[in-house]
């Protein structure tokens, strides 16, 4: 009888359980509200959210570490690789060396996180008239 390569099946959640201490995987799916004009911010009250650390999923979305635009403002990583796949929505990525790019809607980014370099991953809301869906997964 053949042995299955599948070791474990778990429900898809925000953070996936890992069997390897050197592998971290997350999944984000948010139904952000319409954008507030050209600010790329949610046209919604932010009351009741822990701004700077909002992972609540309240109303179907989180601000994460963003205070105005959802996402992850400047933060360091050191000495590992990240792969980000954006299934829907866009990510604005920038780093402390001046590199910047927007990717999304099926794009994949492979990032080598080097010592002394900070980067940010923000989720701009581009549609002022409809829901701004964001879905991505990331493996470190």
- Give the total number of structural domains in the chain: 1
Mind giving me the DSSP string for 90-129?
EEEEEETTS-EEEEETT-EEEEEE-TT-EEEEE-----SS
29: in domain: yes
| Residues 82-137 pLDDT 10s | 899 999 999 999 989 899 999 999 999 998 877 788 899 999 999 999 999 999 99
Neighbours of 86 (CB within 10 A): 22
Residue 91 confidence (pLDDT): 97
Residues facing 132 on adjacent strands: 32
Residue 129 Cα to chain centre, angstroms: 22
108: in domain: yes
- What angle (nearest 5°) sits at the alpha carbon of residue 10, between those of residues 84 and 26? 20
| Residues 11-64 pLDDT 10s | 766 666 666 666 788 899 999 999 998 899 999 999 999 999 999 999 999 999
Domain holding 120: CATH number?
A: 2.60.120
Residue 40 confidence (pLDDT): 93
130: in domain: yes
Domain that holds residue 123: 24-45+53-139
Residue 124 confidence (pLDDT): 97
């Amino acid at each position: 009888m053949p042995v299955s390569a599948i070791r474990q099946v778990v429900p898809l959640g925000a953070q996936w359980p890992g069997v390897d201490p050197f592998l971290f995987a997350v999944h984000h799916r948010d139904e952000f509200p319409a954008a507030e004009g050209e600010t790329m911010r949610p046209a919604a009250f932010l009351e009741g959210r822990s701004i700077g650390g909002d992972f609540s999923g309240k109303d179907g979305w989180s601000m994460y570490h963003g205070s105005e635009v959802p996402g992850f403002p400047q933060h360091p990583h050191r000495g590992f690789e990240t792969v980000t796949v954006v299934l829907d929505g866009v990510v604005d990525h920038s780093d402390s060396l001046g590199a910047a790019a927007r990717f999304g809607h099926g794009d994949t980014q492979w990032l080598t996180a080097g010592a002394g370099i900070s980067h940010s991953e923000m989720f701009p809301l581009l549609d002022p008239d409809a829901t701004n869906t964001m879905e991505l997964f990331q493996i470190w």
